[in-house]
Amino acid sequence: MQDLNSISINFDQNQVFILNLCLGILMFGVALDLKMSDFRYILQNPKAVLAGLVSQWILLPVLTIMLVWIIRPEYSLALGMILIASCPGGNVSNYAVHLAGANAALSVMLTMISTLFCAFSTPFIFAQLRKIIPSGIDHTIDFDISFGDMIVTIGQLIIIPLIIGYLMNEYLPKITSIIRTPVKKISFIIFIGFVVAAVAGNLENLKNYIGIVFFIVLIHNSLALFIGFFWSKQIIKLPAADAQTVSIETGIQNSGLALILIFNYFEGAGGMALIAAWWSVWHLISALGLAFWWKRYRGVD
């Protein structure tokens, strides 16, 4: 097999453009649900919100770099792990939290805040973690990354669609009510179709390396879900529903954003892309499975 650090995922500029567009539409669809009244939740529930943000912005990155030091994966896999940990929460978490019967309002707030700040938090967290990857790992690839450009890219793909969606919901509620459902459905269908096509074009790489990537993502994601719950329930003493929400928000990351950054700034580095692509699949399985289990445990119909 070819060295993971040297393989490149088959992806052209047209596909990158489509992926960028999909993410922008998804973020626009999320923002169509935002209202000014939602922001009051932060003032009313500061403890739960802060616990969730600490879990995402501090505990998950620390856990990730500890795993990198323990597992010692190839360099591109390590970069993929820390990029995933640097990304904001994924909007699928809101559905998983609702399904679990946990705190949906808290979930929306955590996703919204981490997304609004990700233009700065993602490049910053990634830059700090990259500096402390073990020197024993063979740094056979290097990238000249402009973190200013990365901030601009994230702002264009996430912040601008969020602002437009929020303003439409606030000032054009009738139009928003008409387009809200179609926008969400269309963007989700396009995104899923795109992922299927991308996987089909890279089956050989997936077949060769899925065994390695599967176990890394399994361990990484499982510990992310666990640390989110343990931190908020046992340390911060939040109610079970809030702790379950923080757990899911910590375990579901915006891997679509990670993929876009990989193809824009890391030349489609194989190990990074495989980590992000498999995380996209696995975090849905793990979070939704956990949500079903919590729902059944709670006795919610």
DSSP string, 264-299: HHSTTBHHHHHHHHHHHHHHHHHHHHHHHHHHHHHT
| Whether residue 197 has pLDDT greater than 80 | no
| Whether residue 213 has pLDDT greater than 90 | no
| Whether residue 160 has pLDDT greater than 70 | yes
Between CA 275 and CA 285, with CA 281 as vertex, the angle to 5 degrees is 125
Domains of the chain, first to last: 13-136+146-298 (1.20.1530.20)
Name the percent of the chain lying above pLDDT 70.
77
Which H or E run contains 31? helix 13-31
What pLDDT was estimated at residue 188? Answer: 67
The DSSP secondary-structure symbol of 159 reads: I
Where residue 273 falls among pLDDT bands split at 50, 70, 90?
confident
Number of helical (H) and strand (E) elements in the chain, helices listed first: 15, 0
For 221-244, what is the mean pLDDT? 95
CB 217 within 8 A of CB 275: yes
What pLDDT was estimated at residue 1? Answer: 46
Torsion over CA: 266, 117, 84, 69 (sign): positive
For 8-32, what is the mean pLDDT? 67
| Whether residue 151 has pLDDT greater than 60 | yes
Where residue 298 falls among pLDDT bands split at 50, 70, 90?
low
CB 73 within 8 A of CB 66: no
For residue range 70-119, what is the model confidence (pLDDT) as tens digits? 999 988 899 999 999 999 987 678 778 878 888 877 887 888 888 888 88
Whole-prediction pTM value?
Answer: 0.80
Nearest to 192 by CA among 122, 274, 92: 92
